[in-house]
Structure 1
Amino acid sequence: MGHWWYRNIVEPGKLPLLLALAAFVLTFLVTRVITRLIRAGRGPFGNVRAGGLHIHHVVPGVVLTVIGGFGAVASDRHGMGGAVCAVLFGTGAGLVLDEFALILHLDDVYWTDEGRKSVEVVVLTAALVGLLLAGFAPFGVNDLSQQELQDRGTVIAGIAGNFLLALVALSKGKGRTAVFGAVVPLVALVGAVRLARPGSPWARRFYGRRPRARARATLRAYRHDRRWAGPRRALQDWIGGKPDPRPVRLPGRR
């Protein structure tokens, strides 16, 4: 285990990336637990205010991200300074992306349906960083044996092929499938061979003169969204908390 850790994590200089990913995920989870406790009025936590101004946690997140980012650029990735900066950067990024919807809408939409975008962005970011951590493992390791070179060559070829499948899925309007398919080959294959979503670049390019294909794609997209909207919302609620119900607007009132 120690040999594998050194050859695949420490020697290629990927320890800071692993630490940043761990800090990113842990910060997001802890932040969501704390905000849900604050929302429920439980525990010793409360909103941070300064002079009547509500300080969102995206503010310290930006500060930590800047410090960690510039510190990582200026430090050695194999040294202790690089590891510390990676943790700071991952922590800051977790705080920032937890309020991604607030930045996007320039409004406090944390506990609304629009706030679900923060959860989606965090999950996609963690998946992409995990892909970087796993996908680039064949690069940066020194003094490989012939057998290791051959095995890693096979891995590189597999990664390249799977990446092309993920690009096809992305062109078909399947962003989530493309991201997770970049990590799981079977997902990328399924996304690449299935019908494209209406309005995607693939559909505009190849379905323009095929009305039957357009109709099938539209029907399939409708059925897919109807089938998976509920489970997707339930998963998002479990991770990030259930949004507040929308206020009912009475007729004649604005």
Structure 2
Amino acid sequence: MTGLWSPERLPLTLLFVSFIATFVVTRAITRLIRAGKGPFHDNIASGIHVHHSIPGIILTVVGAFSSVAAHGTAPMAAISAVMIGVGTSLVLDEFALLLHLQDVYWAREGQLSVQVVMLTSAALGLLALGIDPLESDGMKRFGHAGLLVSIALQLLCLLVCIRKGKYATAVVGAFLLPVAWIGAIRLARPRSRWARKQYDAGKLTRAKARANGFDARWGRRGLALGDLVAGKPTD
């Protein structure tokens, strides 16, 4: 495994760092605006509130085009990686707003944006550390056959996790296959499509009990961490 700052890994590391830094700075500024403190204020142009996802989209598109044109050569590869990291962070910070097509930034629905950012950060962090979801002993031992079997198995497990409503498990499982296996085998979330179509009343009750126990132990901690970083939503 090469270092995070090695030439071949530098663009991805810069993308990861810029993504995290942009989210932290953006949330700090929006919290100051919400509290009415500091020199910051909403960006209003001709009576329209220009959300920061708009410059985020522009940066992401320009960075993507520049990255393709750079062919991995320095310094443009690093510059485009930073643009993509900053732009993507700005867009995902308002993911819930774009999904609902209304300003739910400080509403309970807005917590979805924080959760998406956290999952994306985890995926980028694993990539920056050099954990390649397409590498496995089977691939090395059996060549192309191992590659095809491993990809097919991995995709199947990930699709099952998603259909079972286990999105965080799917993100981590994309890099650590045993996590996807466990998520695919265990009971689905009770509100997932899998549970609604596949479970009878007894199994659905078991799924609800397991989900309630998990959420009571870990769910509130995740939301509390999100509120600490991103600001507590308005009831």
Which TM-score band (shorter chain)?
0.7 to 0.9
Q: Is the counterpart of residue 112 in structure 1 residue 89 in structure 2?
A: no
More displaced stretch, 224-233 vs 198-207 = 198-207
The equivalent of 1:33 in structure 2 is 28
Structure of greater Rg:
1
Q: Is the 8 A contact 2:56 2:87 kept in 1?
A: yes
The two structures have a TM-score, normalised by structure 2, of 0.78
Q: CA deviation at 1:194?
A: 2.6
The equivalent of 1:221 in structure 2 is 211
Query: In the TM superposition, what whole-angstrom CA distance separates every residue of 1:27-57 from its partner, at most 9, and x where no partner exists?
Result: 1111001111111122222222223332221
Flag the 1:220–1:169 CA change in 2: closer, same or farther, 3 A: same
The equivalent of 1:45 in structure 2 is 40
Q: CA deviation at 1:212?
A: 3.5
Q: Is the counterpart of residue 60 in structure 1 residue 52 in structure 2?
A: no
Flag the 1:153–1:104 CA change in 2: closer, same or farther, 3 A: same
Aligned equivalents of 1:138, 1:188: Cα separation in 2: 14
The equivalent of 1:78 in structure 2 is 73
Q: CA deviation at 1:224?
A: 2.9
Q: Is the 8 A contact 1:131 1:182 kept in 2?
A: no
Q: Is the 8 A contact 2:132 2:175 kept in 1?
A: no
| Structure 1 portions without partners, runs of 5+ | 140-148, 246-254
Q: Is the 8 A contact 2:133 2:176 kept in 1?
A: no
Q: Is the 8 A contact 1:10 1:78 kept in 2?
A: no
Q: CA deviation at 1:18?
A: 2.0
Aligned equivalents of 2:125, 2:56: Cα separation in 1: 21
Aligned-CA RMSD value: 3.3
Q: CA deviation at 1:243?
A: 0.8
1:175 maps to amino acid: Y
More displaced stretch, 88-97 vs 184-193 = 184-193
Q: Is the counterpart of residue 136 in structure 1 residue 136 in structure 2?
A: no
1:5 maps to amino acid: G
Q: 1:240 aligns with which of 224, 230, 235?
A: 230
SS of the equivalent of 1:10 reads: coil
Q: 1:230 aligns with which of 217, 220, 227?
A: 220
2:205 maps to amino acid: A
Q: Is the 8 A contact 1:113 1:243 kept in 2?
A: yes
Q: 1:176 aligns with which of 168, 172, 179?
A: 168
SS of the equivalent of 2:17 reads: helix
The two structures have a TM-score, normalised by structure 1, of 0.73
1:177 maps to amino acid: T
The equivalent of 1:250 in structure 2 is none
Flag the 1:168–1:56 CA change in 2: closer, same or farther, 3 A: closer
Aligned equivalents of 1:132, 1:182: Cα separation in 2: 11
More displaced stretch, 114-123 vs 214-223 = 214-223
More displaced stretch, 170-179 vs 128-137 = 128-137
The equivalent of 1:126 in structure 2 is 121
Q: Is the counterpart of residue 194 in structure 1 residue 175 in structure 2?
A: no
Q: Percent identity?
A: 47
Aligned equivalents of 1:214, 1:41: Cα separation in 2: 47
Aligned equivalents of 1:53, 1:211: Cα separation in 2: 50
SS of the equivalent of 2:3 reads: helix
Q: Is the 8 A contact 2:154 2:180 kept in 1?
A: yes
The equivalent of 1:91 in structure 2 is 86
Flag the 1:202–1:131 CA change in 2: closer, same or farther, 3 A: farther
